[in-house]
Amino acid sequence: MNALGQETSLYLRQHAENPVDWLPWGERAFEVARERNVPVLLSVGYSSCHWCHVMAHESFEHADTAALMNELFVNVKVDREERPDVDALYMQATLALSGSGGWPMTVFLTPDAEPFYAGTYFPPTGRGGLPGFPEVLRAISDAYRARREDVVAQAAKVTERLAAASRRVADEADLSPAILDEAVVGLARVFDPREGGFGGAPKFPPSVTLDFLLRRLLAGDGDRHVAQIVDVTMAKMAGGGIYDQLGGGFHRYSVDSVWLVPHFEKMLYDNALLASDYARAHALAGVPEARRIAEETLDYLLREMRTADGGFAAAQDADSPEGEGAFFTWTPGGLAEVLDALEVRAVRARYGVTPEGNFEGGGSILRVVAPIDAVSEEVGQDAVALLESARKKLYRERRSRPAPVRDDKVIASWNGLAIAALADASVLLDRPDYREAARETAEFVLGSLIVDGRLRRSFADGSAHHLGQLDDHANLSHGLLALYAATFEPRWLAAARALAERMIELFQDAGGGGFFYAGSDAPGLVGRTRDLEDNPAPGGNSQAAWVLLRIAALTGSAEHREIAARALRLVRNEMATVPQAFGTALTGLDFLLGDVREIAIVGPPDDSRRDELVAAARSAAGPRSVLAVGAPDDGEAVAAAPLLATRPMLDGAPTAYVCSGFACREPVTTPEALRQQLGG
């Protein structure tokens, strides 16, 4: 066993018995490289990555290849989910050196950690235009020995390019509504009107872009083209193979353009974000199908991804023990072993299970190919109950199959998104059980991942590890803001504000604007990166801005609002030109430029009239609003949400105050009057 056997990362432990002398990331590896006068081979991946497993089986488990690696290099393994700062830095280098990126990521570094050659997957022998991995190893080692000056010069150039990218300065031009309009036009331009989503294969669920568009529609600013983008995309994804038709939840992406064949891993962040989207879509139009998908996705997370500690696991593997996709696919014969004849007919008609299959090996990925009415006609009775019974039986049978591995590490950033999804859905779908689950997760994360006042990135094997990055602070604060909006318990808002303050302290670029990805207290790397793109999850810079804007509205802080605006100015041009990669930034900009309603409701918590005012505010305020609620004599509530300060009840009745644009309306005490003020 090499040095990875005691690591907390599942991905690193998966390589502990490789004949490669792997070391974890750290100064020791570079000390050894300097002592031996050899380069460092950095291999970055994650536990649910299919091609990471392929390269491991083909090369890292191969004795001759491992011997070559050990002879010529110091070999370092990194889990990108635990050390996203390392991954982000060297992914920039990989893109600069090779023109493309992905995982597994293979980067060759000098003993000073400066990159000079990079790629992704390398096969064991040359094929498809790629050189064989042993060939690459020998060539890199020969170049390092024979042309050291050239290698060092190349590394210095790449390192300077990385440093230059971090010196980005916010655009001081105005942030105008025209950016939002251009973004919507840009999204329409790349929208696939037949299959939904943007562009061609492979297709990733555009969760944060959908969130931006849904909020526009809820605010009354979207037109039929925006509605078409949302409706087609969400319907096609929900009916496709990318959605788990039996167990709920979404796979990471589709390898084709029609959402049929997924890459089978399931990521926590995808499912949290998409559950929020479908819950919001139900709130927009009352579509039962959107509610079903939201609930099935959240129920999947609670059933299969919840850890014993109360957090959520990071991912389920792409590969099954019996082969890629084997856990999720079916044959007609397999159906017949579980279902009665009528159920088999219904499932085959509804989900397209055929003898030839639609996936390698003749298996069929379940996807919706026929509407319920057509299935009912096929089986001669109402198919709804029949299909529900069949799905339950198939799910039970599937649970007996060898399942994909679950990576149990709890990542602060992604758990923040899960808290937000559960809290949002508890309100949008009237599910108090989701609110309680969000509470439990928030209590666990705050209690276990903050050590000596510093948020940690992950929790595994009973303890917290690695310094939290920008996205950990921003996404967890985002989740706590959503939990406050669902419960009005001041502790969640106080915790969100405390995290935001630490985020500003540790990550803000006070000179150029916006935020760096790694904290100022983190061990130094050869460059300091930024987390700008909102794809496939919110980028730290955008989420930080979105969090600070809501905190500013709840507290009246002009400073927080300006810090957020500068973060958005950092991506001002990209929001308009590549909007599909900046959905969260666009959501923040929409809020920054919009007519934000600041609503304060004061009254005792046991007074039903307060609840009626809250319900009216939630139904009529729209997405460009914040809502603070508390008893007038509750000092903790006022301290957390200064919006409640100096707001007395009128005539002893719960009272609502609506402010916008530095002006407040007359306080009201009835739901009807509040709805009228809010235009609902």
Q: Do 313 and 380 share a domain, yes or no?
A: no
Per-residue confidence (pLDDT) for residue 680, from 0 to 100: 64
**CATH of residue 112:** 3.40.30.10
Q: Do 437 and 374 share a domain, yes or no?
A: no
> Is 319 within 8 Å of 53 (Cβ atoms)?
yes
Does residue 1 belong to any structural domain of this protein?
no
Q: Do 20 and 72 share a domain, yes or no?
A: yes
Q: Low-confidence residues of the chain, pLDDT below 70?
A: 680
Q: What share of the chain is helix, strand, coil (3-state, %, to 5)?
A: 50, 15, 35
Cα(535)–Cα(549) distance, integer angstroms: 21
List, for residues 137-149, the tens digit of each pLDDT value. 999 999 999 999 9
Tokens of 482: 């959503």
Q: Which residues span the domain enclosing 657?
A: 597-678
> Is 437 within 8 Å of 424 (Cβ atoms)?
no
Q: What residue type is assigned to position 386 of the chain? A: L
> Is 87 within 8 Å of 105 (Cβ atoms)?
yes
CA-closest candidate to residue 103, choices 55, 137, 57, 148: 55
Q: What is the 3-state secondary structure (H, E, C) of 349-402?
A: HHHCCCCCCCCHHHCEECCCCCCHHHHHHHHCCCHHHHHHHHHHHHHHHHHCCC
**Helix (H) or strand (E) run with residue 535 in it:** none
Does residue 4 belong to any structural domain of this protein?
no
Does residue 175 belong to any structural domain of this protein?
no
> Is 315 within 8 Å of 48 (Cβ atoms)?
yes
Q: Do 357 and 275 share a domain, yes or no?
A: no
Q: Do 551 and 668 share a domain, yes or no?
A: no
Q: Do 265 and 244 share a domain, yes or no?
A: yes
> Is 214 within 8 Å of 276 (Cβ atoms)?
no
CA-closest candidate to residue 274, choices 309, 317, 238: 238
Alpha carbons within 13 angstroms on the beta-carbon side of residue 417 total 30
Residue 221 DSSP label: -
Residue ending a domain, choose from 344, 371, 400:
400
Q: Among the residues of 147-267, which ranges form H helices?
A: 148-166, 177-190, 207-218, 224-239
Q: Do 32 and 60 share a domain, yes or no?
A: yes
**CATH of residue 246:** 1.50.10.10
Per-residue confidence (pLDDT) for residue 661, from 0 to 100: 85
> Is 103 within 8 Å of 52 (Cβ atoms)?
yes
> pTM for the whole thing?
0.95
Mutual angle of helices 432-448 and 490-507, in 10-degree steps: 40
Does residue 130 belong to any structural domain of this protein?
yes
Per-residue confidence (pLDDT) for residue 173, from 0 to 100: 85
CA-closest candidate to residue 597, choices 629, 554, 543: 554
Pairing of strands 74-79, 40-45: parallel
Does residue 460 belong to any structural domain of this protein?
yes
Does residue 172 belong to any structural domain of this protein?
no
Per-residue confidence (pLDDT) for residue 607, from 0 to 100: 97
> Is 655 within 8 Å of 666 (Cβ atoms)?
no
CB neighbour class for 461 (10 Å; exposed up to 12, middle 13-18, buried from 19):
exposed
Q: Do 274 and 419 share a domain, yes or no?
A: yes
Does residue 2 belong to any structural domain of this protein?
no
> Is 458 within 8 Å of 465 (Cβ atoms)?
yes
Per-residue confidence (pLDDT) for residue 361, from 0 to 100: 87
Q: Which residues face 464 on adjacent strands?
A: 459
Q: Do 201 and 132 share a domain, yes or no?
A: no
Residue ending a domain, choose from 593, 625, 659:
593
Per-residue confidence (pLDDT) for residue 1, from 0 to 100: 82
Q: Which residues face 630 on adjacent strands?
A: 602
Does residue 348 belong to any structural domain of this protein?
yes
Cα(586)–Cα(568) distance, integer angstroms: 9
Q: Do 309 and 240 share a domain, yes or no?
A: yes
Tokens of 250: 């979404």
Cα(483)–Cα(491) distance, integer angstroms: 10
**CATH of residue 666:** 3.40.30
Q: Do 588 and 601 share a domain, yes or no?
A: no
Number of domains in the chain: 4
Per-residue confidence (pLDDT) for residue 287, from 0 to 100: 87
Residue ending a domain, choose from 358, 381, 400:
400
Q: Do 150 and 253 share a domain, yes or no?
A: no
